[in-house]
Each structure stands twice: as C-alpha cells, then as structure tokens.
Amino acid sequence: MLNTRELKANIKRILRTDYIKTIDKAKDYEKYNALSKAIMELTIDNWDKTIEVYSNSKQAYYLSAEFLMGRALGNNLLNLGIYEEVKEVLEELNIDINDIEEIEEDAGLGNGGLGRLAACFMDSAATKNLPLTGYGIRYSHGLFKQSFKNGFQVEKADNWLKYGDPWSVRRDEDTVIVEFADCSLKAVPYDMPVIGYKTSNINKLRLFKAEPLEDFDFELFNSQEYNRAVEKKNRAEDVSRVLYPNESTAEGKTLRLKQQYFFVSAALQDLVRNFKKYHGNNFDLFKKYNAIQLNDTHPVIAIPEFMRILIDEEKVEWKKAWEITVNTFSYTNHTILREALEEWDIELYKKLLPRVYEIIKIIDGRFIRELGEEGYSYNKINSMKIIYKNKIHMAWLAIHGTHATNGVAKLHTDILKNQELKDWYELYPDRFLNKTNGITPRRWLALCNKELSGFITELLSSDSWITDLKALKELEKFAGDKSVLNKLLDIKQLKKQQLSEYIRINEGVETNPNSLFDIQIKRLHEYKRQLLNAFGILDLYFRLKENPDLDIIPRTFIFGAKAAPGYFRAKGIIKFINEIANLINNDESISNKIKVVFIQNYRVSYAEKLFPAADISEQISTAGKEASGTGNMKFMLNGTPTIGTYDGANVEMVQEAGEENNFIFGARMEELEKIKETYDPIEYYDSVKGLKRVVNTLIDGTFDDGDTGMFEDLYNSLLEGASWHRPDNYFILKDFDEYRKAQDKVDKAYRDRLGWARKCLMNLAYAGKFSSDRTIMEYAKEIWGIEAKKI
Ligand code: 26V
C-alpha cells in the first residue's frame, strides 16, 4: 500500500530542495522530476534485496547497443500497482497526471525494433523474477528528432536529458577504465531500475557514460589555452554522445567501433569483478553462474574481449578460455538483409584495438584449421573465414564463438538455417534455435489502452491476463455476443477520437474519427514498402477522381517513420507521401473521403497513442525480408486486424488468429526466390490497370521534389535497375494488384460492423503467444539456463 501522505510530503520536499520552490510555483517538468524521484525512493529496499537474492544463482546479461525504453513514469506507476493512487494524490494537489506524463522525454536510445525488443525483454524478465541485467550505452542524445519542412525530413539532436534524468542513479564507485590504443576512458555506470509488474523484484539496466580520466588539463587552463584544456574531455565524451542511426556514414565508423568496445569491455569488467567477489579466481565456475546474450552483432566484440580478459589478465589457458567463452555467450540475429550484416576493416581494429585484433586472428586461425581437418574445401573455408579480404565478419565470429544462435520468428530462423547461414547450420546444427519475438502487455495494452484493458479485466473477471497473456483466449467465447462486440467498437472509437485530437494539436491536421484508420508505423525502409501503401492510396484517389460516386468507406491513412539521415531513397519516400497528402487533403472534390497524414517524430510515446486507435495494421514487407516485426503484434494486441504479407511473425500471427480474420496477400517467399533472376517489373507496369498512372506520378510533374532528383531516383529504382540492384528489388509492382484487392476486401468487411468487431476480438483473443513474457521464458530455459528468483 502506498503511503499517500508521505508521497505528498516527499514531492513537496524534493521541490523545495531541488528547485527551491513551493508546489504552486513549480513548473510541470519540476513536478515530474519531484514525483519521479519520490517514486525512485520507494524502490531502494527492493532493489537492494533483488541484487542480494540473485547473487548466489546463475544470472543472465543482455548486451545491447540499444534500449528503446520510451517514457518511464507511467509504466513504473503501473508496474508498482500505484497508478490510480498516485493519480488521486496528484488530483488532490491540483495536478493532472496526464500533463505530468506528457512532459517526460522519451529515452529514445534505440533505432527501432531491435532496441524496443530489448526494452520489452527487460520488462518481462523483471516481471517473471528472472535475474537479467541489461548493459548498454547512456547516449547523451538518442535517435534524432524528426520534423518535416516542406515535406522533407529534417533531423535535430534529441536532447532527452534536458530536464535531468530522475530514473537513473550514477554509480561512480563502480566506474571502470576502458583502454584503447590511443586513449583510456572512464566508463561510469548509470543504473535504471526495471520494475516488474506486481512483483517486488527490481532488475537493473546499467548504461555506461564515457568520461575522460581527468576532467580537464589544469596546466593548459592556467596558461589560458581554454579550448585545448577541454578538448580531451570532449573527445572522451564523444564516445557516448550520440546513438548512430542505421546506415550512418563512413566518418562515424571509428567512433562506432569505439562505442561497441567501450560498453562491451565495461560490461565484461563489471561482470568479472562481480564474479570474483563471490567465486574468486575459479573461472571453471564462470559459465555456471553467467549467461551473456549478444543482441545482434553490435556487441560481438565481447567474444575476443572476454578471451583477452581470461588469457591476459586471469592467466587462463586458451583451450579452457575458449570453452568457457562459447558456453557463456549466445547470439541473436535480427536481420537477413545483406547490407545490415556488420563487417569491420582490419586496419581500424589494428589501430584501435591491436590485442583484440590479435585474438580474433588466433580464433580465426584455429577455426580454419578445424575446418581443414573436417575436409572443408578451400572455397567453403573462404566463405566462412572470420577474417576475409581484410574484413572481420562479425556474424561469423558470433556463430563460432557462442553455443546458441537464434532467429526472431519461425520463418526467419528457417531462412537462416536453409539459406543465409546454411553452411553454418550444417557445421553447428545444434546451435540454431528459434525464439519468436514478443511484446510486453504492460506498456502495449495495460498502459496505452486502459479502456480496453479495463474491459478485458471485466469480461474475464480477473486481471491475471496481464501476466498470463494466453488467458486472453477466453475472450473467444464472446465472439457472438453483440453487446461485447459493440463495446469493443465503442472503445476503438474513443481511442480514435483521442488520437485525432492529438494529431490535430501536434500535426495541425484534422482527421475524422469516423473514418477507417489505416496505419503504417515503423522505420522507413524500402523493404517495408511504405511506397506500396502510397501507390495504393494514389490509385484510390485517381479512382475517386474518375468516379466521385465510388462507394468507399472514408479512410484516414496514417504514416509514422524515421528515415536514416543518409538514406536518400527512404527520404524520397517520405517526401513523396507528404506530396500525396498535400494533393489529397487539399482536394475538396473528393469530399474528405480520404485523408493522408504523415505524423512527425514517430517514437515510443507516439506509438502508444497510435496502436490502440488503428482499424487496420499495415504489415506489407516483401516476403522473406522482415525478420519478425513487433509493431504487428502491438496492433494485434489492441484488437486490430492486419493487412499483410506472409513475412516475419505475421505468419505465426495469422496461424493463431485465423487467416479469415486478417487480410493476407502477395507473393510468398518461395515464389520470389524462384522468379528473382527473371522478374521484370515492366510486365506489371504495362499490364496492371492503374499501375502505370501511379508510378508515373514520380516523373510526370504531378509532384514536386524540389529539384532533389528524389522522385526520379525512386522511379528508376522501380523500373531501371542498376549494377548494384535489380529493378523493383522489393516487388512492389508485382504485389500491387493483390494489395489493392486486399484493401478492397478490407473496405467491404469493414461495413459489417459486428463482423468486423468479431475479427478484432479474435485477433485480441489469440495475441497471447506474442507476449515477451513467453519469449523471455524461452530464452531463460533453453539458452541461458536461469531460473526465477522471487524476493
Ligand atoms: C540495419 C541496417 C543497417 C544498415 C543498412 C540498412 C539496415 C537495415 C536494417 C537494419 C536492422 C538491423 C537489425 C534490426 O533492427 N532488426 C529488427 O529486429 C526486430 C527485433 O528482432 C525485428 O522485429 C525486425 O523485423 C528487424 O528488422
């Protein structure tokens, strides 16, 4: 039970000491900070206890360059089970909890799915009382802030720390030193509590900040050389200054490698220090007490670094050290896109981390010898060498240096085994596993859709579904219950009204909550095919122009996506969609039947408003390209049918909820594999009715790309091809007609309101599999070998 009197007193006390203010004069952000700190104080005892309880059992560590945590306040109040009480306390102080929640900046320390998955896992592990600690980087600036100017994406630095950071504690006493050939840095830990839902366990997310060994050069300062005096400090702090967006430029390479080594080395030092505290130098016990998960290849440098620590510092002999390493580490692959597989120039490694490079050389040498002994051919060995043509192949190092490699959805894992990593699978068949992704039901339903959440609890007469998501399947029995179905529709309507209002304030665009909300939110990438959606909209618009009486359900198409700053084509797609929005939203002749909105700065907190308000979820990636997707699951959990391809986790979602309750279309992976060498998009361009008309808007003057050449580039990417890519590499033209037909089916199905509500209900009822609680338990049992320890 929350002591509300004490909480009030604490808020006032913190406002007085931190801001020298009484509550009536305090700004919203000051109130937010005071409340957050007061809540932090409540966690101290359980946090300490959790650490103590975990200390004598096996623990797992999640090494990730990204943790896309989003906002903390609302989630922590929910998980502590005090949301409603705190809301009342604030009311008594004349404060609206929504205002306080909205002032919080997102901790946007991730690019997209991979970082958000890490955040969901942290929530699930704490909730399931699993001893899991996250290790990463405390970037001073997370993913850039996006706005649109004249329809073009503009990036600005994200300053998430501007109001302070009440949810972290700096732990100077645990600082470690990370050494590069050219400098040494302090890695200062900042710990964030990860509060489990309705359990007392509190786990830890430990993020390191880079600092110089000395604050500034006093002698230089004394001789008035101020710039040079602080130069070292700045260079050191650069290492944790900013999160790299996917596909960043070459200049960033050195810094990025420094980031990877920085946090990995700090994490391992921290871990080894902790191990020695309890078990001394008996490294034979290491794998018995530690499991380390490498989130994609970004932290894979941990493998040679750990070998270095064991061999150079702890004097363990090579064979034994390697055995400990392989048994301790495991690796998750998150993508099959070739261009996303990390490779590093050996020169960079030699320059920055000579000893680590040497160790990789030895690992590789021994591996090549092993393959030779197994009778592998010269060519095959070349294709599997860790160092090949002066590049270090991080994924190869990862598979070779760990005991488990997993994909993130069934289809994805099958592609890894049978295609992308076939040779590796044949070499190490027992190492390959599938762990289908999941999402936390706390943030993605209980917190972001309190209306639906409350209704579910009422229907099931229990809120146990929040930690046991499979319980949602009991909802199926209401599939024929008109009043339940109508209530579902009412809740959706309410969420749409709320979103509509938010969009009006933030984007300055009016949307009609009575129209069908069709939403595609995810990073902007060609394979995700926002362009297919755009063509579909344009086609619908032209059909409406031809026939103003065309009977369609009014629709609002909503997009949210950031494009990597250096990804020209992705930025072209944003501009194109904004041009389409401009044309359609200003054309009175179609009497508001369609509307297009590209919301700015899509991020976790915006997502929490979008998912609950969707009527249809767009998951239309080229089959075989999306490893899993997790946004798809967030829509499903909020009772939204999917229009999508057979890709990633979509496959498993429709297997659960029924194909009849979703709108699956498009070429399957197997078909695309077969035709990819001979595919000619011109055939479709010439023969599919209406297709030429929409594709040609890229070059016929319908739209203006401000002389950037963006639209022509898009056009060429579809029809011309180049030495480095085939025309229409992502089969947009091929899938266009089927996509349009699937959209027409959505339109028809939506008219039958109860039939539609039934589809929504069935998706909700069968979303249970996609809880990250299920995923994290699988990692715990099948990869890490850890058990729940409740305090
Ligand atoms: C990285 C890069 C880097 C350079 C060029 C373009 C590019 C494109 C994609 C990526 C993504 C790398 C890893 C990633 O974020 N994967 C996502 O992981 C999610 C969680 O497992 C999964 O749901 C998504 O399907 C997958 O794309």
Distance 17 CA to ligand 1 centre (A): 44
Domain range annotation of the chain: 1-54+72-105, 55-71+106-437+777-784, 441-667+734-770
Distance 335 CA to ligand 1 centre (A): 5
Q: What is the mean pLDDT of residues 354-364?
A: 98
Does any ligand 1 atom lie closer than 6 A to the CB of residue 10?
Answer: no
pLDDT (0 to 100) of residue 248: 67
Q: How distant is the alpha carbon of residue 158 from its chain centre?
A: 17
63, β-bridge pairs: 135, 294
Has 634 been annotated as catalytic?
A: yes
Q: What are the pLDDT digits (tens) for 152-168?
A: 999 999 999 999 999 99
* Res. 582 pLDDT band, cuts 50 70 90: very high
Q: What is the mean pLDDT of residues 353-380?
A: 98
pLDDT (0 to 100) of residue 208: 98
Does residue 786 carry a pLDDT above 80? yes
Has 595 been annotated as catalytic?
A: no
Q: Give me the catalytic one of 522, 529, 562, 571.
A: 522
Does any ligand 1 atom lie closer than 6 A to the CB of residue 621?
Answer: no
Q: Give me the catalytic one of 204, 393, 634, 769.
A: 634
Report the alpha-carbon distance of residue 175 to residue 601 in Å, rounded: 34
Q: What are the pLDDT digits (tens) for 700-755?
A: 999 999 999 999 999 999 999 777 789 999 999 999 999 999 999 999 999 999 99
Q: How far is CA 117 from CA 61, 69, 323, 357, 496, in A?
A: 15, 9, 29, 30, 26
pLDDT (0 to 100) of residue 697: 98
Find the range with the poorest average confidence among 61-65, 215-219, 254-258, 555-559.
215-219
Q: What is the mean pLDDT of residues 315-333?
A: 98
Distance 337 CA to ligand 1 centre (A): 8
Dihedral pair phi/psi, residue 154, rounded to 5°: -120, 135
Q: Give me the catalytic one of 487, 528, 595, 734.
A: 528
Q: How distant is the alpha carbon of residue 537 from its chain centre?
A: 27
Give the number of the atom of ligand 1 that is nearest the alpha carbon of residue 408. Answer: 21
Kindly report the number of other CB atoms within 10 A of residue 674's CB atom: 12
Q: Quote the pTM value.
A: 0.98
Has 334 been annotated as catalytic?
A: yes
Distance 296 CA to ligand 1 centre (A): 9
CB 273 within 8 A of CB 290: no
pLDDT (0 to 100) of residue 78: 98
515, β-bridge pairs: none
Q: Give me the catalytic one of 523, 562, 758, 774.
A: 523
Q: Which CATH number does the domain 441-667+734-770 belong to among 3.90.180.10, 1.10.10.10, 3.40.50.2000, 3.40.1280.10?
A: 3.40.50.2000
Distance 670 CA to ligand 1 centre (A): 22
Q: Which fold has domain 55-71+106-437+777-784?
A: Rossmann fold (3.40.50)
Please tell me the residue having the least CA distance from ligand 1 atom 2. Answer: 340
Does residue 384 carry a pLDDT above 70? yes
Does residue 637 carry a pLDDT above 70? yes
Q: What are the pLDDT digits (tens) for 119-151?
A: 999 999 999 999 999 999 999 999 999 999 999
Has 235 been annotated as catalytic?
A: no
Q: What type of residue is 574?
A: I
Q: What is the mean pLDDT of residues 344-350?
A: 97
pLDDT (0 to 100) of residue 724: 76
* Res. 219 pLDDT band, cuts 50 70 90: confident
Has 734 been annotated as catalytic?
A: no
pLDDT (0 to 100) of residue 773: 99
Has 522 been annotated as catalytic?
A: yes
Q: What is the mean pLDDT of residues 177-203?
A: 97
Mean pLDDT, the chain, rounded, equals 97
Q: What are the pLDDT digits (tens) for 59-71?
A: 999 999 999 999 9
Q: What are the pLDDT digits (tens) for 39-87?
A: 999 999 999 999 999 999 999 999 999 999 999 999 999 999 999 999 9
Does any ligand 1 atom lie closer than 6 A to the CB of residue 337?
Answer: yes
Q: How far is CA 752 from CA 127, 309, 513, 780, in A?
A: 40, 65, 18, 44
Distance 523 CA to ligand 1 centre (A): 9
Tokens of 84: 């409603």
pLDDT (0 to 100) of residue 223: 79
